[in-house]
Structure 1
Amino acid sequence: MFDSVKVIPSAEGNVSKYVFTKATGVGEAVLYRYPDYETRTVICCSTMSGCPVGCRFCGAGDHFVRSFSAEEIVAQVDRCLVDTGVEPLLMKSLQIMFMSMGEPLLNKAGMISALQSLYGKYPNAALLISTIGPDIDYDWVYTISNQIPTIGLQFSIHQSTDDMRDALIPFKKKLDISQIVRVGERWHARTGRKPFFNYCAGDDNSTDMDADRLFLAFNPAVWNATVSVICERNEGTPARNDHQIELAANFSSKLVDRGFDVRVFDPAGQDDIGGGCGQLWFVQQWMRDHPELARPSIGHSLPSVHTPA
């Protein structure tokens, strides 16, 4: 499936970065244990090599190669689970997140087949689709989410206004915040499950005014929230963990005060293996080494995103 797999463990001992490489693209996955694999296992896998969206906070935001096939997506998960040494059905909590690299909803063919395969193999696993909300027909998302009851849906918001969000996520063919709200409400109505909005808390977007804007846009009766720390995309740049953790904790408290059910995600391995969301250090190096394959991701238009392996 892949020509090589490199595993880089974090010094903390509870997270490992997986780099899956072949001649036509590279992917990264991250395997977490909290505090052991039997209690909780989390896998973040890639749906593309690079990404066309061009998010400025993401290490994959500069280049795009191609979408992964369903088999390539599933292979990342399979390898990570084998390395846990634990039977997946015996894990008390197993989460498979499509949020390491790539925009999953721009890889419709790969995602539908991958979700079906993973649900068949690991029926106890939560399958979380994390998306920026591209402007697509969401009927297939509603349909597959009804067919597979373990699918979750999370929208990466990260800013409380569309203007600020446009600067962070320059991809023009995306939904604005009000449109994301409507899609999430429809998904909730059709599945009975709450979607999430994900928010990276920084120095410039974690005020009471930001929390008020989110409360006015997202109904806590429909939406849950995830607050994440900001991870540095460049290798060697400290993540300033204590400060970022404090920002995330304080902003999550603001959202709780406004009625939201909030999760705080503080990924381990940020500073030594790039284990945080969007860091993708090894992908960035591969892109620099393969300029003939790495097309620039300017984020301004919707390219042809499903290219066979």
Structure 2
Amino acid sequence: MRVIARTGREEIAMVYIAELSEGRQIEFVESVQPPLPREEKWVLIISTLFGCPIGCLMCDAGGGYRGKLSKDEIFSQIDYLVKKRFPDGHVPVSKFKIQFARMGEPSFNSHVLEVLEELPRRYDAPGLLPSLSTIAPHGTDGFFERLLQIKQRQYSDGRFQLQFSIHTTDIHLRDRLIPVKKWDFAKIANYGERFHDKDNRKITLNFALAKEAPLDSSVLSRYFSPEKFLVKITPLNPTHRAQENRLCSHIDPHHLHGDCSVVQELRAAGFEVIQSIGEVEENRIGSNCGQYVTRHLQAEADISGGYDCCSRPAKDRKLHTLGHLGSI
């Protein structure tokens, strides 16, 4: 792997663009959560596919699918960041979170499972917390059965985070936002019941909530137990895809005034609710969920509130020469 460009702020988040085999490019991210120091929380966000075949309406990392990363190619991203910060391989971080969520649906790549099996042996990292975010596509049952076995064998006591990307309780709108065949709520709930045990953290139902996208507590209560599932609500981050599809965020991260009515209704139904806002500066960097710096650099239009730190190259320069993004 050859890192060809980077952008961001060391004290918040850094995005790295790298070239792998056959000239294929990926991005990966490291971030911290101010005011917490890196030694308390350090998050790596890793790519698992070259492009993504799903094409979620809000995600800039979709399209241009060119295959799966190998186990070694996935590890090369983690190794690069670990060696940069902790050259001896000892990661003295209380919460060392590795998210398989930058580019690609992880359940399409069985090499992710091989990485999960090897992670605890590869690094001296007592705070290791792998995190897998998924839309649970149709036809991935084998992946999730193996994931369950790995979690039970190697990540007990709440040391694994599983998140299902739901985005709305309206099944027809959900099919538009995530335009592939996928598990329905009943199947997600059934798997989650098996995945969760009394010592584990709750399974996350994630909603990157757009305006006019219903989040009905009665629908969630019909399928999901508040004892085993929690709800995470995030802003719809500024992306080219969201702008093209005229999607606006239900939550304005710049103007938060207590709990919105949706949150109040969910809590009244017994659900634990996390409003995950994060650093607004990450939108400017292009490190947030759904963002993809390479997509922005290839676009003609700008995005209000997003990718401000990423200047475009001259039209006659190829992407792999992006030295102006930052020193390599």
TM-score (norm 1): 0.80
1:220 CA displacement: 0.4
1:130: which partner in 2? 133
Query: Partner of 1:103 in structure 2?
Result: 105
Say whether 1:116 aligns with 2:117: yes
Larger-Rg structure: 2
Show the counterpart of 2:273.
262
**Paired AA for residue 282 in structure 1:** T
Post-superposition, which runs of at least 4 consecutive aligned residues in structure 1 deviate over 6 A?
Answer: 239-242, 286-289
1:272: how far off? 2.2
Of the candidates 182, 205, 208, which is equivalent to residue 200 of structure 1? Answer: 208
Alignment of 1:44-63 (within 5 A): 44-63=45-64
1:217 corresponds in structure 2 to 223
What's the % identity of the aligned pairs?
26
What is the alpha-carbon distance in structure 1 between the residues aligned to residue 242 and residue 62 of structure 2? 18
1:158 to 154, 157, 167: 167
Contact 2:58/2:177, CA 8 A, preserved across alignment: yes
**Number of equivalenced pairs:** 282
Structure 2 unmatched runs, 5+: 301-314, 316-328
Counterpart of 2:148 in structure 1 is: 142
Q: Offset of 1:235 from its aligned partner?
A: 9.4
Query: What CA distance in whole angstroms lies between the structure 1 residues aligned with 2:99 and 2:32?
Result: 14
Q: CA RMSD in A?
A: 3.1
Corresponding residue for 2:289? 277
SS at match of 1:55: coil
- Give the structure, 1 or 2, with the largest relative contact order (CA under 8 Å, sep 6 or more): 1
Q: Which position in structure 2 is the counterpart of 1:307?
A: none
Does the CA-based 8 Å contact 1:74-1:117 persist in structure 2? no
Tell me what 2:76 maps to: 75
Give the letter for the 2:174 counterpart. Answer: R
Deviations 1:97-120 (A, max 9, x none): 111111111101x11211122222
Select 2:19's aligned residue among 21, 43, 62.
21
- Give the Cα separation in 1 of the matches to 2:170 and 2:250: 26
Q: Deviations over 1:152-200 (max 9, x none)?
A: 211000011221110000112x111221111111211598542211111
1:52-79: per-residue Cα shift (whole Å, max 9, x none)? 1221111122221111111111221222
* TM-score after normalising by structure 2: 0.76
Q: Which runs of 5+ in 1 are unaligned?
A: 290-309
| Contact 1:63 1:287 (8 Å CA) reproduced | no
Per the alignment, do residues 59 and 43 of structure 1 end up closer, same or farther by CA in structure 2, a change over 3 Å counting? Answer: same
Q: Is the 8 A contact 1:227 1:248 kept in 2?
A: no
- 2:189 aligned partner: 181
